[in-house]
């Protein structure tokens, strides 16, 4: 069982290991500020709910399937070292390979303010070098408290420089996609993946009335998701992330995907979620010198509307 070898990182009553979902293994965190779950496959956080929030903030599909090698639908998949389809090899997995591989737990602890901190890591192996010929150590440092903070740290442990694209592909839980608005990307040029990669600019906050799949580059500021149905605003702050991706598949595409679930209103899980992904993709990809590291960080918080 994958969980026994991590037993020394357990914090009694606060951080425990579970064998599920399926056989993937996960760690469950509960403290006076929040609760969270992180799947060992992909270091994929699948739940976070601050005590003050009436509803989960991170969305995971009720139909998410626990399959080895395939990330669960929802939560925070880690996309690395490429984003989207591989540039030249269609047989390689979309969004890179680390989201489908088991990670190790390498540190845990309790912060002075009551938050729980845990670090997961994955390094190169014969399997990763077959897909991407570089030596690396990748860490995800997670801080579960009244806010959720995650840092993705790329270390180049080899002899040559490499470049990575990366994203924390976060699915946020919302009351109804048709009523939600995403603020903070007005006047930023985006690549519209629903229109063959057209480049466009919008002047208003993003409203949703169909599939949206947009890559915004050269944008480092906060985004907020305004949710009048749940009466809250989710704030996304980031450090050393210059790209933001906004995605909702809407009904037709989500039916083809098959794992978005029935949703709260029975209309489809796509109504209950929006992805606002912080990363460095496309022209914002990052070069890492031998022996150097690159850190990208996000911080999520919830405010009443
Ligand atoms: C988004 C992409 O980041 O992820 C979309 O922009 C993609 O094009 C979506 O459909 C989901 O990807 P996947 O591989 O997790 O189904």
pLDDT tens-place string over residues 180-195 = 999 999 999 999 999 9
Average pLDDT over residues 221-250: 98
Mean pLDDT of the chain: 96
pLDDT of residue 5: 78
Q: Using one digit for the tens of pLDDT, what is the confidence trace for 245-295?
A: 999 999 999 999 999 998 887 889 999 999 999 999 999 999 999 999 999
Average pLDDT over residues 122-131: 98
The finding on whether 213 has its CB within 6 A of some atom of ligand 1 is yes
Closest approach atom of ligand 1 to CA 249: 10
Instruction: Give the Å distance between the CA of 249 and the centre of ligand 1.
Output: 9
Number of domain units in the chain: 1
Query: Has 187 been annotated as catalytic?
Result: no
Helix (H) or strand (E) holding 136: strand 136-144
> With contact defined as beta carbons under 8 Å apart, do 45 and 118 qualify?
no
Cα gap 109→117, rounded to integer Å: 5
The band of 1, judged by pLDDT with boundaries at 50, 70 and 90, is very low
What percentage of the chain has pLDDT greater than the value 70? 99
CA 291 to chain CA centroid, nearest Å = 26
Say how many residues make up the chain: 305
pLDDT of residue 3: 59
Closest approach atom of ligand 1 to CA 73: 15
Is a pLDDT exceeding 60 seen at residue 103? yes
Average pLDDT over residues 154-181: 98
The residue annotated as part of the active site, out of 134, 202, 277, 285, is 277
In degrees, rounded to 5, the angle at the alpha carbon of residue 236 between the alpha carbons of residues 233 and 241 is 165
Closest approach atom of ligand 1 to CA 213: 6
- Residue 145 φ/ψ region, left for φ over 0, alpha for ψ in the -120 to 50 degree band, beta for the rest: beta
Query: Has 169 been annotated as catalytic?
Result: yes
**Rounded to 5, what percent of the chain is helix, strand, coil?**
10, 45, 45
Instruction: Give the Å distance between the CA of 113 and the centre of ligand 1.
Output: 36
CATH of residue 115: 2.70.98.10
Structural domain boundaries, residue 276: 2-304
């Amino acid at each position: 069982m994958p969980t026994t070898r991590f037993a020394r990182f357990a914090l009694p009553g606060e951080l425990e290991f579970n064998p599920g979902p399926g056989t993937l293994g996960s760690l469950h965190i509960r403290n006076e500020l929040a609760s969270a779950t992180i799947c060992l496959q992909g270091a994929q956080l699948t739940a976070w709910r601050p005590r003050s929030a009436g509803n989960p903030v991170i969305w995971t599909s009720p139909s998410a399937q626990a399959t080895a090698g395939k990330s669960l639908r929802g939560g925070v998949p880690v996309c690395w070292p490429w984003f989207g389809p591989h540039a030249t090899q269609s047989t390689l997995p979309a969004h890179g390979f680390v989201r489908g591989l088991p990670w190790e737990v390498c540190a845990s602890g309790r912060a002075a303010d009551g938050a729980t901190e845990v670090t997961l890591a994955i390094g190169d192996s014969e399997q990763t070098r077959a897909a991407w010929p570089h030596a690396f150590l990748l860490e995800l440092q997670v801080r579960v408290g009244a806010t959720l903070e995650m840092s993705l740290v790329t270390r180049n442990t080899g002899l040559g420089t490499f470049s990575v694209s990366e994203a924390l592909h976060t699915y946020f839980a919302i009351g109804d996609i048709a009523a939600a608005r995403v603020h903070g990307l007005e006047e930023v040029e985006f690549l519209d993946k629903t229109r063959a990669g057209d480049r466009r600019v919008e002047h208003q906050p993003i409203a949703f009335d169909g599939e949206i799949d947009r890559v915004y580059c050269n944008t480092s500021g906060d985004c907020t998701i305004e949710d009048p149905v749940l009466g809250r605003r989710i704030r996304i702050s980031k450090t050393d992330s210059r790209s933001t991706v906004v995605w909702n598949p809407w009904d037709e595409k989500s039916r083809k995907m098959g794992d978005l679930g029935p949703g709260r209103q029975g209309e489809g899980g796509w109504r209950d979620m929006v992805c606002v992904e912080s990363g460095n993709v496309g022209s914002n990809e990052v070069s890492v010198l031998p022996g150097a590291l690159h850190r990208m960080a996000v911080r999520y918080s919830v405010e009443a509307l």
